[in-house]
């Protein structure tokens, strides 16, 4: 790959990787997972759940390991531990005087450590590096199927309940007063978060999954004042980041998860600097309200 830019035309740059089955799959899965996490990231950023996203994504680790060991779908194990960690956070917070952010940090690192210990004991089929850093280029058929199913479920829930979830994030008091069950919405959002974390784990791994769950939302938030537009922009920027990240990872032989998240961060940086209204280098007339 020394003469990369001289030997291959721009079109070849895009098309050559597509001749490989594993690249077609990697691109498809990454774009899909990117879109799913991007959509969810709108709710995470608006609800102020970045830390919660970090916690749940790390806490699913022992669930994934146990599921693999027992031959169950890893999404099931992840889901149980994701929701379990949240329940535990709520319980410890209620029963002790320790502050919430401390409890969150405490619980998720505990779960994560348990996952690490389990991996080292149950060696068999589990590749620690795959869980920690993701491996969209080497995704297995079974993992692919599960990721597709999870993505479908998450998208369906987020589309069906988008108005209710938006209202829940914006004004939970009003939601309750008109008879919407906000307790159910709370746990629905947490369940979706656990599922999305498992999907994201496939492409960028546990450590970086939280980036998928907040960065696209944060980027979109800088670009618009409309919730629907924020959804589109987050999905778009997240999917594009994933596709670009996979390409870059292929051509420059770098770690895929890192490359995807780095592209996301760069897009955020561009929005941070150049967003029409909320960028720090405003080019439009700032006197308009």
Partner 1 sequence: MTESFTSKAESNFLRIEAEEICVDYNGNLALYDASLKLKAASICGLVGMNGAGKTTLFKALMGFIRPSRGKIRINGLTVPKAQIEQAVAYVPQNEGLDCSFPVSVWDVVMMGRYGSMNFLRIPRESDRRAVWHALERVELTDYVNRPIGALSGGQRKRAFLARAIAQRASVLLLDEPFAGVDVRTEKLMADLFLQFRQDGRTILISTHDLGHVREFCDLVVLINKTVLAYGQTSEVFTSENLSRTFGGMHPDPISGAASLE
Residues that bind partner 1 (CB under 8 A): 46, 160, 163-164, 166-167, 169-171, 173-180, 221, 224-227, 229-230, 289
Q: How far is the CB of 135 from partner 1 (least distance, A)?
A: 35
Helix axes 21-47, 141-160, angle to 10 degrees: 30
For residues 195 and 153, the answer to whether their CB atoms sit within 8 Å is yes
DSSP letters, 183-221, are: HHHHHHHHHHHHHHHHHHHHHHHHHHHHHHHHHHHHHHH
Q: How far is the CB of 12 from partner 1 (least distance, A)?
A: 41
d(C-alpha 79, C-alpha 192), whole Å: 9
DSSP letters, 42-64, are: HHHHHHT-HHHHHHHHHHTHHHH
Q: Which is nearer to partner 1, 163 or 282 (CB)?
A: 163
Q: Which two three-digit tokens encode residue 159? A: 């589309």
Q: How far is the CB of 168 from partner 1 (least distance, A)?
A: 11
Q: What is the CA radius of gyration of the chain?
A: 20
Q: Which is nearer to partner 1, 24 or 277 (CB)?
A: 277
Q: How far is the CB of 280 from partner 1 (least distance, A)?
A: 16
For residues 127 and 202, the answer to whether their CB atoms sit within 8 Å is no
Q: Which is nearer to partner 1, 75 or 231 (CB)?
A: 231
Q: Which is nearer to partner 1, 178 or 280 (CB)?
A: 178
Q: Which is nearer to partner 1, 21 or 225 (CB)?
A: 225
Q: How far is the CB of 288 from partner 1 (least distance, A)?
A: 9
b/e for 140-174, b at 16 or more Cβ within 10 A? eeebeebbeebbebbbebbeebbebbbbbbeeeee
Q: Which is nearer to partner 1, 191 or 224 (CB)?
A: 224
Q: Which is nearer to partner 1, 108 or 161 (CB)?
A: 161
d(C-alpha 234, C-alpha 35), whole Å: 8
For residues 47 and 189, the answer to whether their CB atoms sit within 8 Å is yes
Q: How far is the CB of 158 from partner 1 (least distance, A)?
A: 13
For residues 264 and 238, the answer to whether their CB atoms sit within 8 Å is yes
Q: How far is the CB of 95 from partner 1 (least distance, A)?
A: 12
DSSP element (H, E) containing 16: none
């Amino acid at each position: 790959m020394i003469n990369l830019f001289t030997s291959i035309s721009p079109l070849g740059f895009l098309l050559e990787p597509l001749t490989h089955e594993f690249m077609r799959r990697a691109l498809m899965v990454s774009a899909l997972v990117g879109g799913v996490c991007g959509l969810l990231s709108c709710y995470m950023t608006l609800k102020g759940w970045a830390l919660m996203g970090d916690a749940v994504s790390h806490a699913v680790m022992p669930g994934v390991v146990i599921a693999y060991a027992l031959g169950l779908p890893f999404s099931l194990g992840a889901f149980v531990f994701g929701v379990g960690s949240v329940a535990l956070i709520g319980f410890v917070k209620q029963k002790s005087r320790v502050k919430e952010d401390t409890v969150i940090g405490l619980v998720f690192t505990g779960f994560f450590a348990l996952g690490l210990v389990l991996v080292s004991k149950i060696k068999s089929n589990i590749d620690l590096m795959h869980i920690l850093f993701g491996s969209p280029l080497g995704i297995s058929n079974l993992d692919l199927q599960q990721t597709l199913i999870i993505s479908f479920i998450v998208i369906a829930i987020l589309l069906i309940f988008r108005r209710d979830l938006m209202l829940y994030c914006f004004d939970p008091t009003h939601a309750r007063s008109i008879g919407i069950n906000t307790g159910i919405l709370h746990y629905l959002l947490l369940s979706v978060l656990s599922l999305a974390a498992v999907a994201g784990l496939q492409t960028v791994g546990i450590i970086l999954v939280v980036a998928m769950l907040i960065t696209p939302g944060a980027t979109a938030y800088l670009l618009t004042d409309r919730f629907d537009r924020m959804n589109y922009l987050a999905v778009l920027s997240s999917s594009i980041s994933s596709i670009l990240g996979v390409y870059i990872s292929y051509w420059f032989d770098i770690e895929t998860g890192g490359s995807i998240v780095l592209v996301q961060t760069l897009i955020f940086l561009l929005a941070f600097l150049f967003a029409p209204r909320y960028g720090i280098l405003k080019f439009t007339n700032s006197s308009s309200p």
